[in-house]
Structure 1
Amino acid sequence: MGSKLFSCLPVRRNLFLKTLTHFCFNFSTLSEGNASNSNAPSQNLFLYFVTTRFNMSSADVAKMLKLNPTLGRLKTLDKVEQLVNMLNRHGCAEDQIANIIRTQPSLMTTSVERLLEPNIQVLKDLGLERENITKIVTSSLTPEQLDLIRKIGIQKESKMYKYVVSVVAKSRIEVLKAKINNLQLCGFSPEEALEVVRFYPSVLEISEEHVQKKMEFMFNHMGLSVDFVTKHARMFTMSLDKVMRPRFSVLRSMTAMNRAGEVKQTRIYSALKIKEAKFVAQIIEGHPESAALWTVYKNAIANVSESSKTQR
């Protein structure tokens, strides 16, 4: 499914929108004396429409034709008119419609009645409000995607529900399944993998490689349990090199200084989630051996930077 995200702001009441019927009349009039509208080159019909209605440049037109060559062979503007009218009904202003068409030219040859409108109705049934529905336009929302949304199990009343629907709607189901399977390969059970997504859906937008690296560090170096990581999935969005590695180095050194054994999981998470200034003030500078901890912290950051240069 090749869906994209776009934002639409409410249309102002007094905003005047030219209709495509008016445009077709003007174009027909312009063609008189040379060639009839029906005999005019089809590419001229498309070119005239986007440059006149939306003031698009020739470069824009060239890109759109490259993405969807069918546009150069349009003989009527019926589907275009349906698309523009639908976007209008759902709150899109002229400049927003222009941007949608520019970035998603395939929509101009898509069946609005058979594909787009039914899918918007599905999104309405899922609980998305009108202003949010206009952010998503696709060819279809597949049964597999709907099933995945149900399996994730976020309640419609949750603030994260709309976000999950948006992520699933814009992504290919194969990609989403691969990311969930990747969590299982890293040590989660199928139920725990879905629980991770439920606690922190943003994990679906992180690459499999990054997830694997963070999982390896959290399990093998930090000693965190699967259950703890499942319930604190926010850690997947934390920087491995700028946050996790240097801060854990400080905590491990501090624990050794205090002869306190292993670093507790809750202590690790608390140190990772706070801002750097607070981490420095409370954990490093607040310790009797702050100078030694500063050295550990700076060396850890330096080692990460040097490692990044080498990998380049």
Structure 2
Amino acid sequence: MQSRVGSLVKLRNLLIASRNFLSFPKSLFPATSLLFAPATYSTICQAQEEGVGEYVRDQPKSSEEILKNWGCSDTDISKMFTRRPALRNADLDQLQFKLNILSGLGISASELVKIINCRPRFLSYRINHCFDERLEYFMRLFESREVLVRAIVKNPSLLTYDFHDKVKPAIALNEGMGLSTSDLTQILLSRPTLIPRTSFNDEKMEYIRKTRLSNHSTMYKYVVAIIGISRLETIRQKVTNLEKFGFSEDEIFGLLARSPLVLTLSIDKVQRNMTFIIGKMKLPAPVILENPFFLYTNLEAVLKPRVFIAEKMQEMGLDLQIKGPMMLTALRMTEKRFLKAFVNCHPKDVADELMEFYVSKGCEAIGRRLLQEELPSRISFLNIFCYQVFIFWTCMMSQFTCRYHYVTLGSILLIAALSFSVILYIVWGSINFL
């Protein structure tokens, strides 16, 4: 019995020892064992690492750098930052993405400047929303990429309008009015607000019917577009304003049928022009029905000065007079042609007196018109003259530079002097005009 108990005790001790042997303490095998130390290996070779580093260094670090890489000059970037200062801090990835879309359309740097000037927040909008569907739709409408780009530059919002809720319904509405694809193209180029502002109701439809224009008439598309984008209250006020001068409803809508842009003139402008035509020129009001240009002509820069100089010529008893049908012709002439036909044709003393009187009546408005028409011709002449002088002295330099080094310096100084003289001539001429 004792031997059996002793054997059981020995067996128990043996099991305890074996269990202690199998459960090793953690301190004997630390995580960072010297025998099995973990090793890390790179799958990128040294050349690849250098390439990645160069790629990171080549990444644009500012919106200015992105715009330069896209093709914008410093002047273009300055104009855009002036118009939209927040563009300096734009998200670089988003900016690059949007510029890639625009370049895919064929939009150039100069056109982007015009777009930002028209819509400063353009690059802050989502222009990639429904982009493929929108592009396909516009290509069917405009029929060429060049015309589409022109339309986008005139109205950048074509890329940001809600495509399904704004663009398609507005185009469908105008098509339902009988406008063809070519008509819509012309209207979208001339009236960029066609999409967001077009609406028709029974009263507007009645106005269109009163013009008695058919769908095939040249002016029909303009009447539809202008009435479509105008507010009803504005149309009523402008029609009432014309009625005050004695026009019947049929005469008013007949005038709109011949010259739809009359509806775009302000009430104040129509009142001032009509008052001068009836009160000072002593012409009957119906004269504008056949000659709508009376309403478009600038009152201060054209109508008043030319009517007053006609009276001055009559007072001076000159042979050449501006009367009757000649007055209608004179009012339609450009500034340069008018002065040549009725002022500069006289002897110098008479011409100077007439010119002084003419400018005094038109003041700054005439000076600006004269400068706009005369200065480009002066500049073009001076450009040709300077170019010829430059070619001449370039030939001289090529012949004598090798022997006489001072000739090169002298030629440069002469060209600089000529350029300075040209600038003075242009500035002095501008001052004299103003």
Please state which band the TM-score falls in when normalised by the shorter chain: 0.5 to 0.7
| 1:241/1:304 contact within 8 Å kept | yes
Q: Give 2:353's match in structure 1, choosing from 284, 292, 295.
A: 295
Q: Is 1:231 aligned with 2:231?
A: no
Q: Give 1:142's match in structure 2, choosing from 184, 200, 204.
A: 200
Q: Is 1:118 aligned with 2:172?
A: yes
| Alignment partner, residue 89 of structure 1 | 140
Q: Give 1:222's match in structure 2, choosing from 267, 278, 281.
A: 281
How far is 1:223 from its partner?
0.7
Query: Which of 1 and 2 has higher RCO (CA within 8 Å, sep 6+)?
Result: 1
| Alignment partner, residue 247 of structure 1 | 306
* Alignment: residue pair count: 251
SS in 1 for 2:286: helix
Q: 2-side partners of 1:266 and 1:98: how far apart?
A: 44
Residue 188 of structure 1 aligns with an amino acid whose one-letter code is F
The normalised TM-score by structure 2 is 0.46
Residue 313 of structure 2 aligns with an amino acid whose one-letter code is M
| Alignment partner, residue 188 of structure 1 | 247
Q: Is 1:210 aligned with 2:269?
A: yes
> Percent identity of the aligned residues?
20
| 2:95/2:123 contact within 8 Å kept | no
* CA-to-aligned-CA distance 1:209-230 (integer Å, 9 cap, x gap): 2222211111111111011122
- Within 5 Å, give how 1:26-37 maps onto structure 2: none
| 2:208/2:224 contact within 8 Å kept | yes
Q: Is 1:63 aligned with 2:63?
A: no
* CA-to-aligned-CA distance 1:234-292 (integer Å, 9 cap, x gap): 122222222211211122233445599x98543421321233444334434557x8855
Poorly superposed stretches of 4+, deviation over 6 Å: 46-49, 59-62, 306-309
Q: 1-side partners of 2:212 and 2:97: how far apart?
A: 45
The normalised TM-score by structure 1 is 0.60
Residue 138 of structure 1 aligns with an amino acid whose one-letter code is I
Structure with bigger gyration radius: 2
How far is 1:231 from its partner?
1.5
How far is 1:142 from its partner?
0.4
SS in 1 for 2:162: helix
Q: Residues 298 and 208 (structure 1 numbering): CA distance in 2 closer, same or farther, change over 3 Å?
A: farther
Gaps of at least 5 residues in structure 1 are: 1-45
| Alignment partner, residue 160 of structure 1 | 219
SS in 2 for 1:153: coil
* CA-to-aligned-CA distance 1:74-117 (integer Å, 9 cap, x gap): 9xx5x666544322322363973865884246622543797245
| Alignment partner, residue 304 of structure 1 | 362
Q: Residues 193 and 298 (structure 1 numbering): CA distance in 2 closer, same or farther, change over 3 Å?
A: farther
Q: 2-side partners of 1:232 and 1:294: how far apart?
A: 32
| Alignment partner, residue 4 of structure 1 | none
SS in 1 for 2:237: helix
| Alignment partner, residue 7 of structure 1 | none
* CA-to-aligned-CA distance 1:3-56 (integer Å, 9 cap, x gap): xxxxxxxxxxxxxxxxxxxxxxxxxxxxxxxxxxxxxxxxxxx99985664469
Residue 299 of structure 1 aligns with an amino acid whose one-letter code is F
| Alignment partner, residue 13 of structure 1 | none
| 2:219/2:258 contact within 8 Å kept | no
SS in 1 for 2:121: helix
| 2:161/2:167 contact within 8 Å kept | no
Q: Residues 267 and 107 (structure 1 numbering): CA distance in 2 closer, same or farther, change over 3 Å?
A: same
Q: Is 1:131 aligned with 2:182?
A: yes
| 1:203/1:236 contact within 8 Å kept | yes
Q: Residues 254 and 112 (structure 1 numbering): CA distance in 2 closer, same or farther, change over 3 Å?
A: closer
Q: 1-side partners of 2:310 and 2:283: how far apart?
A: 14
